[in-house]
Structure 1
Amino acid sequence: MSEYNAGTKVRYRNMAMPAEVLSGPHPSPGRDRYLIRKADGNVSLVPNTDLERIVPRLDQVAGTLAMHLYGRAYVNLDFTRRSQIVYAAAQALRIADSTRGQV
């Protein structure tokens, strides 16, 4: 199974805007490479070491809550606990967004 699927948004080395994986992995000497479309529209074949998965805010908050509340990674929780964690994370982000800029 490939690390990145077609259509996955990734952060490309030293670029502020995300890139999109078009295809891959393509075997090459040394390491696998992925064909990506950068934010400026250019297409490049880059090594997988130059790519980093973009983790949405909800996933980051849910992972942190799961670790602090249950001492386990989010993916290792049962369905009920995962549902509760995602709901709590969504509510925390909603509150944070609605109170942005307030003291």
Structure 2
Amino acid sequence: MADFKAGEKVKYRGMVMPAQVISGPHPSPMKSRYLIQKADGNVSLVPTGDLERIVPRIDQMAGTLAILLHGRAYMHLDARTRIQLAQVAQRVLMIADQTKGQP
């Protein structure tokens, strides 16, 4: 089960813009819920299953590189390898941003 902290930005099911966690988890009969403020300013108490952590692009890229190059999840690699993969991921994303729209 995911644990979110107050102030953390999260994806909320059905919404394009991220929401912000205000408090939680709050126990309920079926499952825990979090109080969130949506991008439109409305506040809702939503089940944990409707929330998803926002993973930055660099973390997504480093995770993909870890699987492709080492056959293991990023978090299971040693610190030196993680740092190297994060640097490569940052460089790859920088090149992708600079060459956006080019053939």
TM-score, scaled to structure 2: 0.96
Secondary structure, counterpart of 2:30 in structure 1: coil
Gaps of 5+ in 1: none
Percentage identity across aligned positions? Answer: 63
**What is the aligned partner in structure 1 of residue 82 from structure 2?**
82
TM-score, scaled to structure 1: 0.96
C-alpha distance in structure 1 between counterparts of 2:31 and 2:39, whole Å:
24
Q: CA RMSD in A?
A: 1.2
Tell me the matched-pair count: 103
**What is the aligned partner in structure 2 of residue 92 from structure 1?**
92
Deviations 1:15-61 (A, max 9, x none): 00000111100001100000001000111111111111111111100
CA contact (8 A) 2:2 2:48 kept: no
The offset of 1:9, in angstroms, is 1.0
CA contact (8 A) 2:10 2:51 kept: yes
**What is the aligned partner in structure 2 of residue 63 from structure 1?**
63
C-alpha distance in structure 2 between counterparts of 1:7 and 1:91, whole Å:
29
Structure 2 letter corresponding to 1:79: A
